[in-house]
């Protein structure tokens, strides 16, 4: 079993990997979602649209409760981190996963719009294709 996640999904992939011992591929992973999302408590709109919804303080509390205090067995992690990420700090991401396999991109963006170019390395790391 392995998990792959991007942004907040990368953080969730870390939570799962820490709980199950599986491998994880992280794409510009969020590092401190409780801290970063706390400012969004209240009524807001969906990221890709204008549907309003309420983001509650208890969601931040839930993230805080799930947060792994430390990353163990760094050999389980492969992170693709873009220095051009416009939402998250590449320095914070690389510090959190220091010692893991990290592909640090000199440019890029939060969405990793060039993900197709990076998939072969991630798939090889997972053992899905030959290296």
- 35-75, pLDDT tens digit by residue? 999 998 999 888 777 889 999 999 999 999 999 999 999 99
Residue-range definition of the domain harbouring residue 89:
2-32+67-125
Q: Each residue of 4-38: pLDDT tens digit?
A: 999 999 999 999 999 999 999 999 999 999 999 99
In a domain, 79, yes or no: yes
Number of domains in the chain: 1
Instruction: Indicate whether 48 belongs to any domain.
Output: no
Q: Is residue 114 part of a domain?
A: yes
Please report whether residue 130 resides in a domain. Answer: no
Query: Residue 121 — pLDDT band, cuts 50, 70, 90?
Result: very high
Flag whether 105 is in a domain: yes
2: part of which helix (H) or strand (E)?
A: strand 2-6
Structural domain contains residue 77:
yes
84: in domain: yes
Asked if 75 contacts 23 with a C-beta cutoff of 8 angstroms, the reply is no
Specify the CATH number for the domain of residue 114.
3.40.50.1820
Q: Within the chain, where are the H helices?
A: 8-20, 33-37, 57-66, 90-96, 115-125
Record the tokens describing residue 105, joined without a space: 């991109």
The answer to whether position 117 is within a domain reads: yes
């Amino acid at each position: 079993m392995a998990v792959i996640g991007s942004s907040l999904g990368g953080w969730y992939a870390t939570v799962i990997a820490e709980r199950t011992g599986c491998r994880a591929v992280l794409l510009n992973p969020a590092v401190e979602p409780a801290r970063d999302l706390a400012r969004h408590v209240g009524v807001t709109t969906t990221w890709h649209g204008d549907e309003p919804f309420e983001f509650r303080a208890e969601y931040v509390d839930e993230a805080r409760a799930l947060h792994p205090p430390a990353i163990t067995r760094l050999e389980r992690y492969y992170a693709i981190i873009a220095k051009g990420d416009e939402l998250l700090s590449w320095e914070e991401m690389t510090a959190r996963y220091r010692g893991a396999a990290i592909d640090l991109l000199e440019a890029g963006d939060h969405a990793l719009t060039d993900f197709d170019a990076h998939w072969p390395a991630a798939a090889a790391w997972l053992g899905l294709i030959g290296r």
